[in-house]
Amino acid sequence: MTVDRLRVVIATPLEASLVELIARDERLEVVWEPELLADPLIDWMVGPLQRTPEQQARYEALLDSAEVLFGVPDQSGAALARTVAANPRLRWVHTIPAGGGQQVRAARLSDAELARVLFTTSAGVHAAPLAEFAVFGVLAGAKRLPWLQGMQRAGQWGPREPLGLLSETTVLVVGLGAIGRLTASKLTALGCRVVGVHRREVEAEVERIVPVEEFAAAASTADAIVLALPGTDETRGMLSAEVLAAVKPGATVVNVGRGTTVDEPALIAALQDGRVGLAVLDVTAVEPLPADNPLWTLPNVVLAPHTAAISPHEPRLIAELFAENARRFLAGAPLLNVVNTREFY
């Protein structure tokens, strides 16, 4: 069904130039009150703007007038639930993270509410920087980054020992969505032997795809494992103690998906006893990572504070994706990146 006009409320921090980009479509009534939002140049993970009671009432009134929201209010499932319940006109919410389905899940909406409101994510926008980070992790493992750094810290020159070659490296890419497929493509181009783990056959530049049930067996032959999984009930703890017990000794683990996909205590134990030679992690089970977590101090861990997806172009690409989906919504066409409201990815 085509639509003549939509009222879009910007519910999350956004730069003025990108609001203008969205508003170029004259069929969109774009409402943006930046004084009610945090500074768009500040990481949204630090938390929402602290509003006065009057500002909060104004913010919620705007949300309750929207047919479309750009962003989940305050990145909060509870705020999203309040808005959906209070606004029967709301038809579509675009979530900012690629894993925005988890924000929808956190709202605990009823089946009727999930049927009434369409949810989309920014999946794909982050694929390039995350795939590059995954390649960095595989390279760090092949070139023995912990050993090199240890020698440097000790002020020791030598002994001269061989480093790995990518042409002799087997990489298991677990999860062949946009991020996993691009990672596989880049690693294949660098000469790696790449095997995918996925629930079904998809087109990807991999030697073969093995089912999830064979993850442990495939891990036993891999020099590196790249996790590019969404955070769902089905993926929780997929890198399990069982899989880690089967890994090739000294293997590298790279996670550019979600921290919940790893049995973190089991990974820490594997890093401590050397079964895993290096872990390169953009995500952890709890974020920010607690100060007493051993991952901070293990010499064979490289941590990124959930920053590997960020590029200077990220906000523009998200705004462009939203604008394209708005055009599709107005035309009655299928939208990109619709959230699966059974598994919430």
What residues are annotated to the active site?
258, 287, 306
CA distance 9 to 178: 28
Please answer whether residues 303 and 281 qualify as being in contact, where contact means their C-beta atoms are separated by less than 8 angstroms: yes
Query: Contact, 237 vs 216, CB < 8 A?
Result: no
Cα separations (Å) of 170 from 123, 145, 226, 262, 332? 27, 18, 11, 20, 45
Strands of the sheet containing 251-255, edge to edge, are 208-210, 193-197, 170-174, 224-227, 251-255, 276-281, 301-303
Which stretches of the chain are DSSP H helices? 16-23, 53-63, 77-86, 101-106, 111-116, 127-142, 145-153, 178-189, 215-219, 241-246, 264-273, 314-331
Residue 337 backbone phi and psi in degrees, to 5? 60, 40
C-alpha torsion angle, residues 86, 92, 96, 101 (rounded to 10): 90
Determine the Cα–Cα distance for residues 172 and 208; give it in Å rounded to an integer.
10
* Distance of alpha carbon 275 from the chain centroid: 27
**Greatest alpha-carbon span in the chain:** 71
Burial class from Cβ neighbours inside 10 Å (0-12, 13-18, 19+) for residue 243 reads buried
Cα–Cα distances in angstroms (integers) from residue 264 to residues 45, 104, 154, 259, in the given order = 22, 25, 29, 8
Estimate to the nearest angstrom the gap between the alpha carbon of 64 and the chain centroid.
28
